[in-house]
Amino acid sequence: KPVQAYVTAAGYTGAAGASLVLHDSAGHVSRILIGVGDAAGLYTYADLPATLPKNTAGYYSDQKLTAAEAQQAALGWALGSYHFGRYKSGQKKTFVPLVLPENVDKKKLEAAAKAVFLVRDLVNTPANDMGPEELAAAAKKLTGQFGKADINIITGEALLKKNYPAIYAVGKGSPRAPRLIDIRW
């Protein structure tokens, strides 16, 4: 009854995205209520790693989730843990961890998060540090991780010879040679 009275007094409705921290008699976090709505999905959990109290070894769901729901929750949590720190040496942002439900496919989770983080890093890098040459280097590095991937990079005037005049025309005004990056699996 005291918990129910506190929840009511706090005005917590359980609406999607709403959260409420519950404390035990010693003042420690005992539980956090999180409203997920009718269609809980990937982004339902994405802001939690940065907004939940940091004084814990990790969070877990005490609700039984299907494998698909657990995968979405874990990926949303992982994506919410992204931090672009390329230009801030020594400053690593910390996020509270999630204790993965048993029915999460960890390999798929890690692969998806790693792919999204790579794209976010490429997008978040300013254009003066991420031009055609740097993007081609990132593509080479990526394909090097997969033995079956082939990469072909066409640069500068070779674009005209290979019948890519539009790419050449757009890039020729820059001191950085334009490139077409073709990755095949």
Grade residue 55 by pLDDT with cuts at 50, 70 and 90. low
> Angle of helix 106-124 relative to helix 132-144, nearest 10 degrees?
170
Q: What is the pLDDT of residue 118?
A: 95
pTM attached to this predicted model:
0.82
Tokens describing residue 67: 């494998």
pLDDT tens-digit profile of 100-117?
889 999 999 999 999 999
121-133 pLDDT, tens digit per residue, is 999 999 999 999 9
Question: What percent of the chain has pLDDT above 70?
Answer: 96
If phi > 0 it is left, if psi is from -120 to 50 it is alpha, else beta; for residue 160 that is alpha
Full DSSP string of 97-137: -B---TT--HHHHHHHHHHHHHHHHHHHS-TTTS-HHHHHH
The rounded Cα 77 to chain-centroid distance in angstroms is: 8
Indicate whether 39 pLDDT > 70: no
Whole-angstrom Cα distance, residue 31 to residue 63? 12
In this structure, what DSSP letter does residue 177 have? P
What does the pLDDT read at residue 159? Answer: 97
| Banded pLDDT at 32 (limits 50, 70, 90) | confident
